[in-house]
Amino acid sequence: MKFVAGRRQLLKAALVPAAAAGAIPLRFVRDAAAAPAPAAPARVYFTDAEFAWVEAAVARLIPNDALGPGAKEADVAVFIDHQLAGPYGRAETWYMQGPWKQGTPQQGYQLKLSPAQLYRTAIADVDASSKTANGGKTFAALDAATQDAMLHALEDGKLDLPNASAKDFFTILLQNTTEGFLADPMYHGNRDFAGWKLIGFPGPRYNYVDEIEQHGKRFTLPPVGLLGRDGTRTKDA
């Protein structure tokens, strides 16, 4: 699927099996050292510049529009930051030994870089390219149209990154953005259930006994996360 800055296209892509996308889906890891809170938790991996880059990128992949908040408002960059600081970012459960050869899309992730290393390396390369082409401006400082053009170039493998694979980076960035927008809020993304409200998912309620026989009626109860109605606590769920 070609990247188009719009949530409908992104959500369609989310339905494609991860194997077809050529990336390994992460296993959501809740950071035990920083319990979820109404305010976004402190960053644990990205530098300020890297976080600004990711926020800008996810804001173009799932922009806010008439349908509701986008990935930036849903704290997707925070979600990615915390996942990269954990086992997923370190590729702890992946085989990461050589040899490293150019694989096919069907073979999935074939890089020697862990996801965390890939983000750090690719972001630096993209910003270097942006500064060269745009008068010293980083990706985060560009206008939306120019950001979209750079994301398209990443997707098509046409942006020359000296130290990372452009297409592989875009694939994992798009996948992680989708995951952060649709994961349970306990993992630091999907703030205020933005993703679930968009697709009409009510969340993992403990039962639906009262609703089972209400055929054809609209389900009006608010979404509930694993930690409660605001996604951050266990009571009142």
106 vs 20, 94, 109, 128, CA distance in Å?
7, 16, 9, 31
| Domain-wise residue ranges, the chain | 7-200
User: Which residues, other chains included, contact 63 with Cβ-Cβ below 8 Å and sequence gap of 6+?
Assistant: 5, 6, 7, 70, 71
For residue 46 the two structure tokens come to 């990205």
Task: Output the pTM of the full model.
Answer: 0.82
pLDDT at 236: 37
Which residue ranges in the chain fall short of pLDDT 50? 15-37, 233-237
pLDDT at 237: 34
89 vs 61, 114, 142, CA distance in Å?
21, 6, 27
pLDDT tens figures, 79-97: 999 999 999 999 999 888 8
User: Which residues, other chains included, contact 28 with Cβ-Cβ below 8 Å and sequence gap of 6+?
Assistant: 83, 179, 183, 184, 187
For residue 208 the two structure tokens come to 């639906």
pLDDT at 11: 57
pLDDT at 17: 46
pLDDT at 218: 84
